[in-house]
Amino acid sequence: MASTIPASNPEADGPAIQARGVAKHYGALRAVDDVDLAVRRGEIFGLIGHNGAGKSTLFKMMLGLIAPTRGEILINGCSVRGRDFRATRRHIGYLPENVVLYDNLSGLETLHFFAKLKGAPRAQCAPTLERVGLAYAAQQPLREYSKGMRQRLGFAQALLGAPRVLFLDEPTNGLDPQAIRDFYATLRGLQSEGVTVVITSHILAELQERVDRLAIMSAGKIQALGSVQALREQVQMPLSLTLHLAPADAQQAQQALAALAGVKTLVIPEGLHISCPREAKMAVLAAVTALGARLLDLTIAEPSLEDVFFGFSD
């Protein structure tokens, strides 16, 4: 069912989420420490960090569940401390890391319960179950649900009310590979409808190709912010190339690359492994192209999101 942004949110062209100098202190502990962040409307945004980095605390402040020590958070232009946030919250969906559900209720009854809590139309429940692939289990009691089914049901309750902003905390826990693929396909569908998604996950390989931008948190601060590729370039991690060559040709290629600054090579059974600075990539490719037909294959590997994460957080 279509939804509109509340009239209390006048900044229709501004960020979906904006944090300005946000901090949360518990005595001497600075759980979140002067965070500035803007999440664009309609983007899938990742928030990653070690346990204790401040992600969950920032999430809870964005949801209005806890008050910041100082600073301001706006959701669709509305302050989470403002009197109008109650109306804005009806257009926010939240999937916590651990969803508490009632085993004696069926899947459909569970959504009916959450719909009543959120003031969402009861008619949304059955189509939402279908959207997350649980229509076949609508009448099945939750005690018979697997962990993955429970997780999908938790996602379904977050979708009730046609939210404009979704906060998802470890949303793929317990999902099998096909369900994970379906989940992210659903997120892309929501994005095409203009929904903004903020997602946390410890499974960095999942996020790598699926978020538009991400922030890396550590010690309550945002250490890095941007697309995965922008962060790769910012952290200046080397590229990895593998040349598939005959043993004699591998040694020749190694000699041809010896003069290039910062380039490291290692003869391996497949041929030659190369580690090089990003700015030396074209020089390396020019050197190996000279091998002609003796070069059987070539692969180039960018640093993974996990590599980038540890590059910033270590």
Tens-place pLDDT, residues 61-103: 999 899 999 999 999 999 998 888 888 888 899 999 888 899 9
In this prediction, residue 97 carries a pLDDT of 86
197 versus 286: which is more confidently predicted?
Answer: 197
Q: State how far the Cα of 117 lies from the Cα of 79, in Å rounded to an integer.
A: 22
For residue 11, the model assigns a pLDDT of 46
Structure tokens at 100: 């508490």
Query: For the whole model, what pTM was predicted?
Result: 0.85
Q: Which two tokens stand for residue 312?
A: 């910033």
167-203 residues labelled b (16+ CB within 10 A) or e (exposed): bbbbbbbebeeebbebbbebbeebbeeebbbbbbbee
Residue 240 and residue 275 in contact, taking contact as beta carbons nearer than 8 Å: yes
pLDDT band for position 12 (50/70/90)? low
Amino acid sitting at position 9: N
Residue 41 scores a pLDDT above 90:
yes
- Residue 222 CB contacts under 8 Å (≥ 6 apart), including other chains: 35, 36, 37, 215, 216
52 pLDDT exceeds 60?
yes
Alpha carbon distance, N-terminus to C-terminus of the chain: 45
Whole-number pLDDT of residue 14:
85
**What are the phi and psi torsion angles at 206 (to 5°)?**
-65, -40
Lowest-pLDDT choice from 10-14, 111-115, 164-168:
10-14
Q: What is the pLDDT of residue 290?
A: 83
List 276's β-bridge partners, or say none: 239
